[in-house]
Each structure stands twice: as C-alpha cells, then as structure tokens.
Amino acid sequence: MCGIFSYVGKKEALPILVDGLSSLEYRGYDSSGVYVVGSNCVKSVGAVENLRKKLDGKENTFSGTSGIAHLRWATHGEPTEKNAHPHSDCSGKFWVVHNGIIENYKELKEHLISLGHIFKSDTDTEVVPHLLEEHFKRENDFEKAVKQTLKDIKGTYGLVIAFKDEKNKIITCRMGAPVVVGVGVGEMFVASDPSPILRHTRQVIYLRDGEIATLTPENYNICSLDSTPIARDPEMIEWEVDQIKKDGYDHFMMKEIMEASDVIKNTTRGRLIPENGLVKLGGLEIVADKLKDINRIIIVGCGTAYYSGVVGEYMIEEYTGIPVEVEVGSEFRYRKPLIDKNTMLLAISQSGETADTLEAIREAKRKGALAIGIVNTVGSTIARETDAGIYNHAGPEIGVASTKAFISQITALAMLTVFLGRQREMSMVTGKRICEEIISLPEKMEKILSQKEEIKKLAEKYSIYRDFLYLGRKYNYAIAYEGALKLKEVSYIHAEGCGAGEMKHGPLAMIDENFPTLAIAPSDSVYEKMISNIQEIKARKGKVLAIATDGDERIKELADDVIYIPKTLEMLTPILSVIPLQLFAYYMAVSKGLNVDRPRNLAKSVTVE
C-alpha cells in the first residue's frame, strides 16, 4: 500500500524523485523520504509537501544521478520520522524502500542485534538493509548480497535497494507487492504503479513474483532468485499523461466522477453488437467453450469491488440462470469453499493487485476453478494470474475513493451477463435491448452530472448531521452500501448501508429527526416496497433524501428532498443511481474542508493483508 519511486540515469535525481512521490500520494501519506545515492537522505512526517519544505534551500546538498524515494502507509511502527523510509544499515551504505510486510522480521531482528547491529526504527523493513550489510561482508558483491537477503526474508515485498559504492545501479525485486520498471533513454525508473513513470516514458516492465531487476542508466537485467536470466521486453502503457492530471478540477475525485460518461464509452468500445444482441469480449475468447459448461459462479472482491459484484450477482442470476455467490476477498480463503471444474471464480479489482482477491484466485485455481478477472490495470498480477478476463479501460483512477472504476465494473458485469446469457437461453431481443440501453447510458449520465450544483446545495443542507442510513432493494441493495461507504471514506461521517427489507429488523431503531435516510427508490419492480419504507421513516420523524426516476411526482409528497435520475432498464439503474451518491459524498467532504483525494488512514491499493 506504500508508494515507491526510484531513478537511475544522468540527470539530477532529487527533483525527479520528489515529483514522482507527488504522483503517488494516493498510495500513502503518513510519511515520505528520499535518498540520493552517495549523497544525502531526508524524511518527513505527513504529505510530500512537508518533505518539499524540509528540502527548501538545501537542494544543493543532494547532488547525484540516482536515488530511491518512498511514501509510507504505516503497518509496523507509528507514522513518525524515524519510521519513515528509506532505511539504512549500520554503515550507511545500503538503503532500502519497501512496500509489503516482512513476516519473520522479529526473529531476523533478534538475530541481527545479537550480531551487533543497531536498529533505529520500529519497522519490519529495517531488517533488510542490516541483512544486506551482513551478507555483503561474506559475498563482497552487491547483487549476491541482495539474493542472499531475499532468501532470508518471508512475507511480501516490493523492494528497491541502493548501494552507496555503486551510484549508477539500483536493484528492485518483487514478491506479492507490485513493482513497475520504466525503461527510458539513458535512464530507468521504478514505481509501485505506472502513474509517476508516465511523464518520463511509456515503456514499462511489470515484475513478477520472485524476480529481481538490476538497473543502470543504459540497461536492465532480470533474473530469478537462483540467478536464472529472464528475457522480458517492455510493454507500452496505454494511458496518456493528461489522464493523471486534474484538468482544472479541485480534486481527482470530482474529475473522475465527471468522467462517468466517457468511462462507459471506453469500457464498451468495440464490444457491443446491438443489432444481434451480442457482446464481443476478446479477453474471454480463449475460454468461451469452457464458459458454456460453467454451472456456478463465485464473485470475489474487496470494498467497492465487492459491491459491484453484488450488483453482478443479481444481473447474472436473473438473465443467465447461473447460480452466483459473492464473497469478500479477505474471508474467502479462510473458508473451505466447495469448488469444482465447472465453477468460475470472477475476481474484481481496480488495481489488479488487491492482496486478498489475489489469494482467493490462487485458492480457487488450486481447487480446479476457472479464474476470470475484471481489472483496470494492464499487466497487473491479477490480470496475469487469471485464466482470462475483461479490462475496464477506465483509465487511471487516482482518487482513493473509487468512483469511475465502480461504474466501469458494473458495466463490464452487464456485458458479461449478455455474453453468458446468449451462450444459454437469452433471446436476441433481450440481448439487443440490454446492449441498446447500455449505449444510451452516457447521455443519461450527463443529465445527472448536470445537477451537480443542486446536489452540492443538498450536501451543504445535510452537512449538519453526523449519522446517515442508506436504503436500497434488489439491484440497488448494493448501491445503498456503496453510497454509505463513499460517505464514510471521504467525510468521516457515520453511515450505514441497509437492505430496505431489513430496516424493521434493527436499523429503524436509530431513526429520529437527527438521523436522515438516503433512499434509493427508482421506478422499478420494488418501488412500492421502497415507498412503504419511506413512509415508515417519515412516521418516526426521520428526514428522507430520495433518489427517484424522472417524472415520479408521488415521491415528492413523502421525501424531504429528491434527486432525479433518468429511466433505464432495472438491471442498469445502479450505474445511474450511484452517481448522485458519489457527488453527495464529495460535496459533504468538501463542505468540511477535507482532502477527498487522500482520506485519512486509507490508501488506494491494498497490497498487504
């Protein structure tokens, strides 16, 4: 979950390193630090801006053309300056930045202390440079010392290592935490994801577990832990540099919400064949025959991805007849799931690096399941380890709170529903109707987004409240939970999602004049039931902000406030109903003066348990 950025080349490294960290701040911001090889190290608690302030006027003391940098999201050790990365050994020759967890660090630390090593931090990471120092005494070789160190440690890591005596070389390695190598002209880069590399080069190599890359300004060499050479050509990143800029918006979150209509177009481009009621998913062609024999689907995701999976469960079961279960990724491998060769595991992850979801894939494959992924990051671990999959093509999502990726995931699930349905008994007419309605969604989204100023006023009106209940049924059941999650993530306001049918089984006890409800009540098959729920809340003096379908005048008589969305197929209403909830959460946070792109205690990609 931490952010790593490193450089080796011919330019002054410091400004490149600090700018790289700025592009990674959504990955962690408890503390940050930079080491310029053979020169100097600086660390700071908090955001990168604090690091810049410490460097102001001192840049000339950091001369050098290679270095490593880090943004920390604390796991072992409090977010203090002494625990900030980079960490060094006793001699100050070996420097390390790390994303992951060293599981056996206590035993290693005790052993190293017995050998006379002095530790300066409370982190698990610090054992790595001390191990390097110890192995170098015997090997007298930088690369060999790294390999011996990696054999000692257990856990997950994305590591970048610098050696003071070899200023034109850095070594990076991976086990369970993402590492991307950027290949430039006379310069190389390392990062936790492609976003900070894009401004320098679009040629990247995604390291795989157990691989070690040695980088110099002119070359890279990849090998395994046993020194077996690995040939790997760079891939081209499809994102444009402009996609990771705010484009005049105050926050990435707002920019990404406003991109919703483009996200639908990009996710569906070249995939819908409405005249025949078909969907073409190139990433599934190699397993198309196997999919015909699937008789059970398990969807796995974490957080927002889990909620998109719940929407997908309703879609797939209703239109394909295949039984579907949705599992929280962090719990899946601790059960004993019943899986056979006719089971499909569908893993959903924006980053493609979510640790728990990845382990669920591995467990399912061990038991013979077909593993399919819906991911947004080309070359990610989940993209590689699944048997086939669907890329979202939503573009980079920088805001920690997922918005456009969620919309893309549900769209991908709708297309998968048509794909699987048409393999079975779905008629061409039904397939055609769904495809045509998906095509119409961008225009309908623009209509909702045009109401953002009205939604802003509603957020300001409701910002006085500290508790919220979100209600939804059927397709919008998961949207109630997702809407509540967004409010919690960015505004730190207590919010509970609830299936509306469960309201009388407990949550109704909370309702009074100070506990408002956001009720998702489009004109669908469960509309009358939602109306009954709203009436029950109003009878207890609860305030109601409703999401309703255009033209619904009846709901005005019940709800205190209404946000309207256009009519669409019931299965697609979540794609529209979630947008006002995203905007509401955004404006609630802004009204409190919070940084919505970097909510406290959270990071974008959860790559450790």
* Whether residue 38 is found in the same domain as residue 130: yes
Q: Per the domain annotation, does 603 fall within a domain?
A: no
* Whether residue 523 is found in the same domain as residue 438: no
Q: Per the domain annotation, does 599 fall within a domain?
A: no
| Res. 60 pLDDT band, cuts 50 70 90 | confident
pLDDT for 507: 85
Q: Quick one: CA dihedral 335, 341, 347, 352, positive or negative?
A: positive
77 pLDDT higher than 80: no
* Whether residue 123 is found in the same domain as residue 80: yes
The total of structural domains in the chain comes to: 3
Q: What are phi and psi of 547, to 5 degrees?
A: -100, 120
Q: Per the domain annotation, does 597 fall within a domain?
A: no
Q: Concatenate the DSSP letters of all residues of 25-92 into one string.
A: GGG--SEEEEEETTTEEEEEESSHHHHHHHHTTTGGG---SEEEEEEE--SSS-SSTTTSSPEE-TTS
* Whether residue 224 is found in the same domain as residue 253: no
234 pLDDT higher than 90: yes
Find the mean pLDDT for residues 332-343: 85
pLDDT for 598: 81
Residue 425 has a CB neighbour count (10 Å cut-off) of 10
pLDDT for 603: 61
pLDDT for 244: 64
pLDDT for 336: 79
Question: pTM for the whole thing?
Answer: 0.79
Q: Per the domain annotation, does 378 fall within a domain?
A: yes
* Tokens describing residue 22: 């700025």
Last residue of a domain, one of 189, 207, 237: 237
pLDDT for 219: 94
Distance in angstroms (rounded) separating the CA atoms of residues 370 and 384: 14
Find the mean pLDDT for residues 63-81: 84
153 pLDDT higher than 90: yes
| Res. 504 pLDDT band, cuts 50 70 90 | confident
Q: Per the domain annotation, does 604 fall within a domain?
A: no
Reduced to 3 states, what is the DSSP secondary structure of residue 345?
strand
* Tokens describing residue 277: 């009621």
Range picked from 237-251, 260-274, 330-344 for highest mean pLDDT:
260-274
* Whether residue 155 is found in the same domain as residue 138: yes
* Whether residue 175 is found in the same domain as residue 295: no
* Whether residue 299 is found in the same domain as residue 427: yes
Q: Per the domain annotation, does 498 fall within a domain?
A: yes
Whole-number average pLDDT of the chain: 92
pLDDT for 24: 80
- pLDDT per position as a tens digit, 510-521: 889 999 999 999
Specify the CATH number for the domain of residue 230.
3.60.20.10
Interacting residues of 336 by C-beta distance below 8 A, sequence separation 6+: none
- pLDDT per position as a tens digit, 247-305: 788 898 999 999 999 999 999 999 999 999 999 999 999 999 999 999 999 999 999 99
Last residue of a domain, one of 198, 216, 237: 237
* Whether residue 232 is found in the same domain as residue 301: no
Specify the CATH number for the domain of residue 550.
3.40.50.10490
Q: What percentage of the chain exceeds 90 in pLDDT?
A: 75
Catalytic residue IDs:
2, 604
Closest C-alpha among 469, 445, 487 to residue 588: 487
* Whether residue 379 is found in the same domain as residue 285: yes
Last residue of a domain, one of 399, 424, 447: 447
Interacting residues of 342 by C-beta distance below 8 A, sequence separation 6+: 293, 294, 295, 296
Q: Per the domain annotation, does 608 fall within a domain?
A: no
* Whether residue 469 is found in the same domain as residue 426: no
Q: Name residue, tokens 């590492």.
A: 179
609 pLDDT higher than 80: no
Find the mean pLDDT for residues 164-176: 95
Cis peptide before 15 (omega within 30 of 0): no
316 pLDDT higher than 70: yes
Q: Per the domain annotation, does 470 fall within a domain?
A: yes
* Whether residue 254 is found in the same domain as residue 198: no
Instruction: State the residue range of the domain holding 547.
Output: 452-591
* Whether residue 309 is found in the same domain as residue 347: yes
